[in-house]
Amino acid sequence: MATERLDKILAHHGFGTRKYVKKVCHEGLVFINGKMVTDPGAHVDISSDKLTIDGEEIKLQHDLYIMMNKCKDVVCANKDGEHRTVFDLIDEGLRHKFLGGDLHCMGRLDIDTEGLLILTTDGQLTHRLLAPKTHVPKTYAVGLRDSLTQEQKNEYVEIFKKGFWVDREQNESGFDCKPSELVWISDENKKQAENSSGKADCLLTIYEGKYHQVKRMFAQMKNEVVYLKRVKMGALSLDPKIKLGEYRELTEHEIEILSQES
C-alpha cells in the first residue's frame, strides 16, 4: 500500500502551499472516501483512496507518463527564448509537480525531428532507460536526399550491420558506430512507417544515442537526411492515432513495456 501525507499530495497537485492546504482541511472541505478529514498529516493510499476537495475529485497519481508525437520546430527543453518547447504543447493542468518529481523529457529529439517522445516525472525509469549500458533500441523513419539503386541499398544495409566510423561534427568527437539495423521500406513494412506521410525511405534501428547520430551516419555515406521521425523506443511504438504535436497519457500496459526495457 503506497501512502503519502495529505498535505504533500495536495501541494504537489497544485493546491498551493502546505499552509494553504492546512486551511482548506480545517474548513472541512477535504474528504477521503466520503469522510471529512481535518488533519493535513493524514495518510492517503494513492492507489485506492478517493480524495475530494470542495466536491471535486482529485486524480491521484505518483507519476505521469506521456506519449507525444513531437512536431518539427519545437525543442525538447523547459524554456527557450527563441522557439516553442514541447512543454508548451502540454495542457497547463499537467505541468504541476507530481509526487514523483518534475515532468521532463525521456531523451531528446532535435528541433527538426518528429515522432515518439516520452515525457515523465519518473526520474528513476528515465535514468535506467538512458543509461549507456542499457542499449535500448530506437527506430527511426528516415527520408534521404539521394535515391539509391538496389545495389547501393544492399551496400548500406551491410555497412550499417557491421558498424562503422563516423567523423566528428563541429565540437563533437567522431565515434565507432555500433552495429545497427537498416531496412528499406517496402509494401511489407510500410505500415510501421505509415504515419510518416510517405516521406520515409527506410527504417533505422540504433542501440546508442550519440549527438545527431542518425544524420551523421548517413552523412558518412555521402547522403543527407531530409526527414527524420522516431517511431519506436524499445518495444513501444508511436501510436499512429496521435497527430503531430499532440499527446496522450501512456496506458498501464505501455508503462509496463517501458519498465521491462530497463
Indicate the domain borders of the chain.
Answer: 3-58, 65-132+238-261, 138-233
CA dist., res. 81 & res. 240, Å (int): 31
| Sign, CA torsion 17/23/27/28 | positive
**DSSP state, residue 194:** G
Domain 3-58, CATH among 1.10.3720.10, 3.40.50.300, 3.10.290.10, 3.65.10.10: 3.10.290.10
Tens-place pLDDT, residues 18-34: 778 888 888 888 889 99
pLDDT attached to residue 198: 72
pLDDT attached to residue 7: 83
Nine-digit cell string for 224: 543527407
Tens-place pLDDT, residues 137-191: 999 999 999 999 999 999 999 999 999 999 998 888 999 999 999 999 976 666 6
* 233-257: average pLDDT: 94
Among the listed residues 49, 63, 80, 110, the single catalytic one is: 110
CA dist., res. 123 & res. 207, Å (int): 21
**pTM of structure:** 0.82
Asked if residues 21 and 33 have their Cβ atoms less than 8 Å apart, the reply is no
CATH of region 138-233: 3.30.70.1560
3-58 and 65-132+238-261: identical CATH topology: no
Burial call 168-205: b when 16+ CB within 10 Å, e when fewer: eeeeeeeeebeebebbebeeeeeebbebbeeebbbbbe
- What's the pLDDT band for 57 if we cut at 50, 70, 90? confident
For the question of residue 110 being annotated catalytic, the response is: yes
Beta strand pairing status for 202-206 and 181-184? antiparallel
CATH of region 65-132+238-261: 3.30.70.580
Residue type, 215: K
